[in-house]
Structure formats: C-alpha cells, structure tokens
C-alpha cells in the first residue's frame, strides 16, 4: 500500500508546482573564495561542558583547503579541532598562538 503525504492528498501540482518536502536542494558551496590576505577573521570563545573552545571565522575557502588548514594548525599547535561550515574550532584557549600561526600564513584579522 502506497502512503501519500497528507499535504499532497488530492492536491494537483500542475503548472510546475511541487511540494517542498520532496526536493531537498543541496547547500550551495560558497563561490566567494578569498586569498588569505583578503580575509577578515575574528575570534570568539565558548564554554562547552566546562571546557573552553576557541572559534575562528569566517573563512572564505574551498572545503578541501579549509580541511588542509585545520590539519596543519592542529599539528602545529598539538590540539584537537574541527571544521564547522566556514569556521574552525579548537580545543582550549589558543587565541594568541592561533593568531601567530595564521598571520605567518598571511591571514588578516579584524582590528
């Protein structure tokens, strides 16, 4: 037995209309890619489960480039971290160390 969506029951979707829940469009990857010198990064800190997390954003890079940058920084700083959309998150309070590493890679920060 084929179950219909309650929203669609008896509905006529002619004239190029369709239900919203059928077509899940993929998130568009940001086509706004910047060189390191054009970035305007800033830091924020959050406490999660009693521990400090340092967040750096917004990065305007391709996902592969951002993953490579994350891997490089984690290795240089000896800490854990993750990639979330256009930001990098690191375990611990590492603002000064991260700033030095990113500036050596020619990234810029908001004043």
Taking the CA of residue 37 as centre, how many other CA atoms within 13 Å lie in the half-sphere pointing to its CB? 0
Which pLDDT score, from 0 to 100, does residue 29 have? 45
Burial 69-102 (b: 16+ CB within 10 A, else e): bbeebbeebeeebeeeeeebbbbbebbebbeebb
Which pLDDT score, from 0 to 100, does residue 21 have? 53
Residues of the chain with pLDDT under 50: 26-30
Which pLDDT score, from 0 to 100, does residue 37 have? 82
CATH numeric code, 36-104: 3.30.780.10
Which pLDDT score, from 0 to 100, does residue 28 have? 46
Q: What pTM value is reported for the model?
A: 0.67
């Amino acid at each position: 037995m084929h179950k219909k969506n309650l929203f669609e029951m008896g509905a006529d979707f002619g004239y190029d209309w369709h239900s919203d829940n059928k077509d899940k469009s993929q998130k568009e990857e940001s086509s706004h890619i910047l060189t390191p010198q054009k970035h305007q990064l800033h830091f924020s800190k959050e406490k999660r489960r009693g521990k400090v997390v340092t967040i750096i954003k917004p990065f305007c890079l391709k996902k592969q480039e951002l993953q490579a940058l994350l891997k490089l920084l984690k290795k240089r700083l000896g800490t854990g971290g993750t990639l979330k959309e256009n930001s990098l998150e690191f375990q611990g309070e590492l603002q000064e160390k991260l700033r030095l590493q990113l500036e050596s890679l020619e990234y810029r920060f908001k004043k």
